[in-house]
A and B are shown apart, each in its own frame.
Chain A
Amino acid sequence: MAKLKLPKFLIAAAILYAVIEGLYKTELINGYILHIINQSLVYVILAVSLNLINGITGQFSLGHMGFAAVGAYVSGTLTTLIFKVTPTAPEGMLVFIFSIVAGGIVAAFIGFLIGFPSLRLKGDYLAIVTLGFGEIIRTIFNNIDYVGGPRGLLGIPKFSNFTVIFIAAFLTVVIIRNLIESSHGRVLLSIRENELAAELVGIDTTQYKVLAFSIGAFFAGIAGGLFAHLLQLAHPTQFGFIKSVEVLIMIYAGGVGSITGSVIAAFALTFLSEGLRIGIRFVADTTGLPIGGEWRMVIYSLLLIFIMLFRTEGLMGTKESRLIKIKEAE
Chain B
Amino acid sequence: MPALLTIQGMTHYFGGLRAVSDFSYEVPKGSIYGLIGPNGSGKTTTFNLITGIYTPTQGKILFEGKDITGQKPYKIVRGGIARTFQNLRIFSSLTALDNIRIARHYSMKSSVASAVLRLPSFLKQEKKVRQESEALLDLMHLSHRSKELAKNLPYGELRRLEIARALATDPKLILLDEPAAGMNPKEVEELMNLILRIRQEFNVTVFLIEHHMKVVMGICERIKVIDFGETIAEGQPETVAKDQKVLEAYLGKRGA
Contacts and interface: CB of A to CB of B under 8 A. Distances in A.
Interface of A: 1-2, 4, 6, 175, 178-179, 182-187, 189-190, 193-194, 196-205, 211, 318, 328
B78 A193 contact: no
B53 interface: yes
B101 interface: yes
Contact of A4 (B53, B101, B116, B118): B118
A203 B74 contact: yes
25 contacts: A4-B118, A175-B116, A182-B126, A185-B115, A186-B102, A187-B102, A189-B93, A193-B92, A193-B93, A194-B89, A194-B90, A196-B89, A199-B72, A199-B74, A199-B77, A201-B77, A201-B102, A201-B103, A201-B106, A201-B168, A202-B77, A202-B78, A202-B106, A202-B107, A203-B105
Nearest to A176: B116
Contact of B106 (A178, A203, A211): A203
Contacts of B168: 201
Chain A contact residues, majority secondary structure: helix
B127 interface: yes
What size tier do the contact residues of chain B reach? 35 or more
B139 interface: no
B77 A200 contact: yes
B51 interface: yes
Contact of A183 (B73, B77, B115, B166): B115
Say whether chain B's binding surface is mostly helix, strand, loop, or mixed. Answer: helix
A190 B116 contact: no
A175 B53 CA distance: 34
A184 B91 CA distance: 15
A190 B93 contact: no
B178 interface: no
A184 B73 contact: no
A186 B77 CA distance: 18
Given A182-B126, A183-B105, A183-B129, A201 B115 contact: no
A323 to B, nearest CB: 17
Interface centre among A2, A178, A182 (most CB of B within 10 A): A182
| Most chain B CB neighbours (cut-off 10 Å) among A2, A184, A211 | A184
Contact of B169 (A6, A175, A186, A201): A201
